[in-house]
Amino acid sequence: MIMGCGRVGSRLARTLDQTGRSVTVIDQDPDSFRRLGKQFGGKTVTAIGFDRDALIEAGIAKADAFAAVSDGDNSNIIAARVAREVFAVDTVVARIYDPRRAEIYERLGISTVATVAWTAGQILRRIEAAGIHEEWRDATATIMLAELTYNPAWIGHRVVDITGGTEARVAFITRYGEAVQIDRDTVLQEDDVVHVLCHPERKDALTAAAGRGPGESI
């Protein structure tokens, strides 16, 4: 069971759903569920995530794990404590923005993930990985499909421009969990994942192009 269907919650829900897990997502805003995409096979519940009656209706009695990943520390902790102390869920994890609270919540038996530390780790991992993450390569090793990390300044600009000055091209993007074909006028939105086709030996130029801002020289 996941409380919060923002960027973290929706991605977590889609990943678990794709691995065959039974997933229930709770959020106060019904529009947030669109982030799950049409392929999501789990259950969605519009409610406050720490409301006991709502949790019972959502089936928390059968939950093996509960993740509180909304945008508010207090809401996450309250929901996590209810899941742990009232419903005795075995595994409870809460996302927090203030890492100074982590030790207190750990003593309560609630695992915490500090957003700042997690984000920093993700940034470091992608920097070390040179900004491109290979997903597939053909048998002759002359072309590969890869996920491309891009400068956030590209958001609001045409997707095709990200690879400008290189021989690579954008194959498609993933938006709200769904693959989307692009055309010359498709504009990059926040949280879009860009997938490119390029020659493995020319990925450095591609990384440089995506890493600069629009209008900047490589």
The CATH number for 143's domain is 3.30.70.1450
Look at residue 89 and give its three-state secondary structure: coil
Q: Per the domain annotation, does 218 fall within a domain?
A: no
- CA separation for the pair 99, 186 (Å, rounded): 38
Domain end residue (candidates: 68, 90, 121): 121
So what's the pLDDT on residue 56? 94
Give the tens place of pLDDT for each residue, 36-73: 999 999 999 999 999 999 999 899 999 999 999 998 88
23: domain CATH number is 3.40.50.720
Both 94 and 153 in a single domain? no
Q: Is residue 161 part of a domain?
A: yes
135 and 117 both lie in a single domain? no
Q: At 183, is the secondary structure helix, strand, or coil?
A: coil
pLDDT for residue 127: 42
Please indicate whether residue 101 or residue 211 has the higher confidence score (pLDDT). Answer: 211
In terms of C-beta distances under 8 Å and separation of at least 24 residues, what long-range contacts does 122-127 make, across chains too? none
The verdict on 60 and 168 lying in the same domain is no
Whether 20 is in a domain gets the answer: yes
Same domain, 78 and 15: yes
**What pLDDT digit, counting tens, does each position of 17-27 carry?**
988 889 999 99
Report whether 113 contacts 169 (CB < 8 A).
no
Q: Are residues 117 and 135 in the same domain?
A: no
The pTM (predicted TM-score) of the whole model is 0.55
Structural domain ending residue among the three candidates 69, 95, 121: 121
Does residue 57 belong to any structural domain of this protein? yes
Query: What residue numbers bound the domain in which 151 lies?
Result: 131-211
Q: How many domains would you assign to the chain? A: 2
pLDDT per residue as tens digits for the range 98-131: 766 766 776 666 777 766 555 554 544 444 444 7
Residues near 181 by Cβ (< 8 Å), separated by ≥ 6? 172
Indicate whether 101 and 11 sit together in one domain: yes
